[in-house]
Amino acid sequence: MRGMQLAQFNTIENAPLIEQKLHLPEPGPGQLRIKVLTCGVCRTDLHTVEGDIHPPKMPIVPGHQVIGTVDILGEGMTNIKVGDRVGVPWLHRGCRQCKYCQRGEENLCQQAQFTGYHVDGGFSEFMLADANYVLPIPDGMSTQEAAPLLCAGIIGYRSLQKADLNPGEILGLFGFGASAHLTIQVALHWGCEVYVFTRSPSHRRHALKLGAKWVGGSDDSPPTFLDRAVIFAPSGAIVPLALEKIRPGGTLAINAIHMSPIPELDYRLIYGERTLRSVANATFQDGADFLKIAAEIPIRSTVNLYPLEMANQALEDMKHSRINGEAVLIVHDE
């Protein structure tokens, strides 16, 4: 089978993903082999390829926003059928034994494994997945548009929860890429006003088209204080800029697996019972809940399609904000 494999970290401009002929994996007990149809391209993939985060095994096949069909069942599988369309998210599996897993916080499990990081992911024609963590894809949802939902959508949904967003509140989104363009649709569905902070003129136009009430840069002052905010851009310098725009008692959630250092904060920015918290991965239940909401709204992903062999180009285009929404690799035709 074909796959785009990372053997050595490098900047994406040097095309570190190499197309390889890989061994076709065989599922063990509790596993599924997935025929990959599409795979979304995520900033976490970029952090992996460029060495901002270091996978525990190399070489590795990135990709963790996978829509595919079940190709082969491992031993003991009874609740999934060959041919079922499923999604494979970032969380590959938790240990299912620790205190975090036992209380439904497997995103914090210290033994958790992640797709495209601990195990080979969806930048390939076939992959293995843990049957307990794949997500059913609602009928009627496009395979191409569903791919970004498997990480960008799920983590955006969790970010709204961790930002304590209530229906009707004023929400700020800092950065407007793959995750934010899905997150805004949930917030608007909940009757919130959304203010978007981004440098990119095309991303500003995209935000307004999707229903943002106001757009500007992180240095700009919105018309009113924000109740809640989420930072999507991996820039620590944005944190104090965002905090100064949040009302007392408000919440700022940081949606980033890797971020540049946060500068020293003036205490007045956090005073007034403002909350600052990180968002770390997502749970299986987050995925199940979000996909249900996504089908109800229905959420529309803005996708930019690339063939599998152009994974480097897709990541480079994302890095330099050349696309609206999310890049999606087409691996197999349906």
Query: Tens digit of pLDDT for each residue in 43-69?
Result: 999 999 999 999 999 999 999 999 999
Element housing 323 (H / E):
none
- Written as six digits, the tokens of 326 are 């999310």
pTM of the model: 0.94
DSSP state letters, 177-195: STTHHHHHHHHHHTT-EEE
What is residue 78's predicted lDDT score, i.e. its pLDDT?
74
- Written as six digits, the tokens of 178 are 């793959």
Q: Which residues of the chain have pLDDT under 50?
A: none
Report all structural domains of the chain as residue ranges with CATH numbers, in order of start.
2-150+282-330 (3.90.180.10), 153-279 (3.40.50.720)
Q: How many CB atoms lie within 10 A of CB 18?
A: 13
CA distance 36 to 38: 6
DSSP state, 128?
E
Measured CA to CA in angstroms, residue 239 lies from 78, 81, 183, 280 at distances of 47, 46, 19, 17
How many C-alpha atoms does 294 have within 13 Å on its Cβ side?
32
CA distance 241 to 15: 34
What is residue 150's predicted lDDT score, i.e. its pLDDT?
97
pLDDT in tens, 113-159: 999 999 999 999 999 999 999 999 999 999 999 999 999 999 999 99
Q: Are 285 and 104 in contact (CB under 8 A)?
A: yes
The strand pairing partners of 35, in sequence order, are 69, 126
